[in-house]
Chains A and B, each alone.
Chain A
Amino acid sequence: MRRDVFQAIADPTRRAIIALIAVQAMTPNALSEHFDSTRQSISKHLRILTECGLVKQEHQGREIHYQLELDKIKEIDQWIAQFRKIWEDRYNQLDDLLLTIQQKKEL
């Protein structure tokens, strides 16, 4: 099954997990204390986040800590930045058109 970052952040629990581990790496147990959901449910969310490359595992002794992949988060912003540029470009053209029309009216 294909995983993508947008699928990852579409879920509110996963967004909350991202917000928590953005501050510091955490174990699944520590994470589940912040939610009403079961430990299994948190593990499932962590698996999806890992498959999307948004979080990575770090083994410390017997414990696994999850931490954020900052580069992947930046990728999301880059997608959005491309959309922004399409609108900027489009509107700059509208500026030129409005100017042209107004100048013709003044003649």
Chain B
Amino acid sequence: MKNNLLFEFLTDKEKNTLTIKREFLAGRQLVWDAHTKSELLDRWFAPSPLTTKTKSMNFSAGGHWIYAMVEPNGIEYWGRLDYVTIYPIDSYTALDAFCNNEGEINPDLPRANWEVTFSDLGSNALVQTVVTYQSLSDLEKVIQMGMQEGMTSTLERLDDLLLTLNQ
């Protein structure tokens, strides 16, 4: 599906932030639901071929989402998102973390603050996610985790696929 939907990915190495802006071909309410209801999150959040599995979800200020990204071979990587503020259907903020399958946070791995904002772009919805790390070395740790979790090979497979499709 090629729709020329807006996509921006900006890094600010001085503020240690990643800003991701993306337009979606749907109204704001539906896009909000897709970000905040676990039965919908389960259907898109983990990059393929990983799949998402929710253990528990309490979408409210002070609540959290505990989920796993699951490899096709069954290996699970657990994550947790603690919701801090929620303004339906405009924005929410949350703190992410790596955890075990009981939802206990791993204190050795960095946490990042997420600020997710939803707005209208004509009849489409625009989502802006600002991810803030404590430091750039935190960001590096997270990316290295991603590599260990096989995401790199996932992405390489995606590269191969795109190359095949383009030929």
Binding site for B on A (CB under 8 A): 4-7, 9-10, 12, 15, 79-80, 82-99, 101-102
CB distance from A52 to the nearest CB of B (A): 11
Partner of B146 from the list A86, A93, A97 (CB cut-off 8 Å) is A86
> Does B109 sit within 8 A of A, measured CB to CB?
no
- Is B140 within 8 A of A4, CB to CB? yes
Query: In the complex, what distance in Å separates the CA atom of A102 from the CA atom of B26?
Result: 8
Partner of B47 from the list A7, A9, A86 (CB cut-off 8 Å) is A86
> Does B86 sit within 8 A of A, measured CB to CB?
no
CB distance from A47 to the nearest CB of B (A): 18
> Does B135 sit within 8 A of A, measured CB to CB?
yes
Partner of B34 from the list A7, A92, A94 (CB cut-off 8 Å) is A94
- A79-B143, A87-B9 known; A94-B24 Cβ under 8 A: yes
CB distance from B94 to the nearest CB of A (A): 16
Most chain B CB inside 10 Å of its own CB: which residue of A10, A94, A102: A94
CB distance from A5 to the nearest CB of B (A): 8
Task: Look across to chain B and name the residue whose beta carbon is closest to the beta carbon of A80.
Answer: B11
Query: In the complex, what distance in Å separates the CA atom of A17 from the CA atom of B141?
Result: 24
Contacts of A15 in B (CB 8 A): 13-14
Contacts of A79 in B (CB 8 A): 139-140, 143
> Does B45 sit within 8 A of A, measured CB to CB?
yes
Query: In the complex, what distance in Å separates the CA atom of A42 from the CA atom of B31?
Result: 50
Query: In the complex, what distance in Å separates the CA atom of A34 from the CA atom of B93?
Result: 40
Query: In the complex, what distance in Å separates the CA atom of A74 from the CA atom of B1?
Result: 31
- Is B155 within 8 A of A91, CB to CB? no
CB distance from A32 to the nearest CB of B (A): 22
- Is A82 within 8 A of B140, CB to CB? no
Query: In the complex, what distance in Å separates the CA atom of A82 from the CA atom of B7?
Result: 15
Contacts of B154 in A (CB 8 A): 89
Q: Which bucket holds chain B's interface residue count?
A: 35 or more
Contacts of B14 in A (CB 8 A): 12, 15
15 contacts between A and B (CB under 8 A): A5-B140, A82-B147, A83-B18, A84-B9, A86-B47, A88-B9, A92-B1, A93-B43, A93-B47, A93-B48, A95-B24, A96-B1, A97-B44, A98-B25, A98-B30
Contacts of B44 in A (CB 8 A): 90, 93-94, 96-97
Contacts of A99 in B (CB 8 A): 1, 25
CB distance from A101 to the nearest CB of B (A): 6
Query: In the complex, what distance in Å separates the CA atom of A73 from the CA atom of B8?
Result: 22
- Is A89 within 8 A of B9, CB to CB? no
Task: Look across to chain B and name the residue whose beta carbon is closest to the beta carbon of A87.
Answer: B20
